[in-house]
Chains A and B, each alone.
Chain A
Amino acid sequence: MKGPAALLLAASLAAASPAAAERLVLSLSTNLVAIGSNYTGARLVAFGVIERDTQTVSRVGPYDVVVTVRGPREGVTVREKERLGPIWLNRSQQKFVEVPSFLAVTSTRAIEDAASEEMRRRYRLGVRAVVNAPEFTVGRGGEEDKFRQALVRLKGKDRLYLENPRGVSFVTGEFFRAPISLPATAPVGNYDVEVSLLADGVVVARRNASFELVKTGLEEQISEFARDRPVMSGFVTAAMALFFGWLASVIFRRD
């Protein structure tokens, strides 16, 4: 939770149409999450302010906020085991070409209560809505649905796809904070944070930010070495293995 919190505040905007909706200002507690040798996951916070002026329409109900964090995209194949005679083996499969490796949706209350199904589908609010979106896979329709369900279930088990319906809290009427926690298995890369502001079940403002998860120090050097000098790193590992093998035979020498 370190980092220049005010950095993104300055980059606020003037994009909203006049005399209508609220404006949203967003800032992350950090833009760079570093992985060291003792990394076991990270926590950061998205802070947001709702800006209103005299021309902004007045709202009846309270505001709702939905924060969607998407990790770097990856290609995933979901396979299903089926029975063939006495044995179980993978038979049917579904490829998902570009899915977020990590997907966390945090909101002020359950997403089903905060937005109508139409809203959820149009703005991709909630894990289900993101996964069921047509761009999620080059699908064949119908059959593939169980593969989407399985993808959500299996990713959920690894804490890579999750929903937290009570995560976002309002500090004051216009100022909110949303904690984002990354499990240790979340992959290295660029993460998008998308914040949607809802009033009376309608999305009135959206704002994006991003942060990066990077390896630092020794971890970075080792993976760079393995990537840039692969032959050398193979020989170094082999030499290390031989050295320790020899060392052990010397230590344990009995005759």
Chain B
Amino acid sequence: MQIYLPIAEMPVSILLLLAMGAAVGFVSGLFGIGGGFLMTPLLIFLGIPPAVAVATQSAQIAASSATGTLSALRRNALDLKLALTLVAGGFVGTSLGVWFFAAMRRAGQLELVIVLSYVTLFTVLGSLMLAESLREFWSVRRGVVRPRRRGGEHPAYLGLPFRVRFPRSRLYSSLIPIVGLALAVGFIGAVLGIGGAFIMVPALLYLFRVPTNVVIGTSQVQVLCTALLAVILQATLNGAVDIILALILILGGVFGAQFGAQAGRTLRADLFRFLLAILILAVGLRFVIELVVRPTEPFSLSVQELRR
């Protein structure tokens, strides 16, 4: 069953889009990430113009993270104070990122910056998380009980000035590393056209030792705010949001996100971190392959503008 998308100006199969929305929604609900770094390449692969793909999938991310936020609120599995701190820092980072994006595009090297950032970020982050996760599996199998964190024992950066207590996250930390993280994530997200939750989630898990169940809800709030801002900005500045495409992706996505969130609740924390590491590493390797393997078609077209 085909439907014509008015802004993308092409017909697509409704069932295929629903399935894609559901699959990405599942992953998104499971890990508390937006899933933009999965959805954008899929849409572009279908032939949807990149600008429309990037802009429209923000709407789907907004919808599934709204669901996630509401259910986390109900289960009291989020730290609103931490989330709002992250959102505030993130907006500043996003603005800086948009400025950098424009500067690199003027310099003509935007595509290389994007691919190299993906490769570095995803492979490094994925490998670190995988190594950590495997070490944990290993020590559990050998029966070594790793000491739990004791009160008063924490990395030095938490002790910088402006310390604030986040009771829900069992975190007592300086604002400097938290806002710095939010800034960095907002910046990278704007440059790569992604929400950045997949950086935020591991950072909160590993750098700040926030409990897994709180991390997901908190990150959902941050993703929701970023995605809503992105939809409104993209529609206003580029007119690139296709409401029909958004509707279909949302319908698939919200249901997928539900099943993902349910699966996430029963998942063991160490297995959760292992799977997230694999997912991030896989995306990174995909970009490595794209960069290293001889392309079958070395040429590519990009249409600038249509003269009507």
Contacts and interface: CB of A to CB of B under 8 A. Distances in A.
Nearest to B25: A248
B239 A227 contact: yes
Nearest to B257: A248
A236 B235 CA distance: 10
Interface stretch (A118-126, A134-142, A215-223): A215-223
B234 interface: yes
B307 A248 contact: no
Given A155-B301, A240-B247, A247 B239 contact: no
Given A80-B299, A188-B9, A230 B235 contact: yes
Interface stretch (A10-18, A35-43, A49-57, A193-201): A35-43
B32 to A, nearest CB: 14
Interface of B: prevailing SS: helix
B60 interface: yes
Contact of A245 (B63, B243, B293): B63
Interface string B231-268: 11111110101011011001100110110000000000
A185 B47 contact: yes
B193 to A, nearest CB: 17
A255 B11 contact: no
A161 B283 CA distance: 34
A230 B239 contact: yes
Nearest to A255: B74
A76 B241 contact: no
A150 B10 contact: no
A153 B233 contact: no
Contacts of B88: none
A153 B299 contact: yes
A228 B304 CA distance: 21
A242 B302 contact: no
Interface residues of A, number: 65
B294 interface: yes
A240 B303 CA distance: 30
A33 to B, nearest CB: 13
A222 B305 contact: no
Contacts of A38: 2-4
Contacts of B75: 255
A74 B301 CA distance: 12
Interface of A: 35-40, 72-83, 86-90, 98, 101, 147, 150-151, 153-155, 184-185, 187-190, 215, 218-220, 222-223, 226-227, 230-231, 233-238, 240-242, 244-249, 252-253, 255
30 contacts: A36-B4, A37-B3, A38-B4, A75-B305, A78-B301, A79-B302, A87-B291, A87-B292, A88-B294, A89-B115, A185-B9, A187-B306, A189-B306, A219-B4, A222-B6, A223-B6, A226-B6, A227-B239, A233-B239, A234-B235, A234-B236, A238-B231, A241-B66, A248-B63, A248-B255, A249-B70, A249-B71, A252-B258, A255-B74, A255-B75
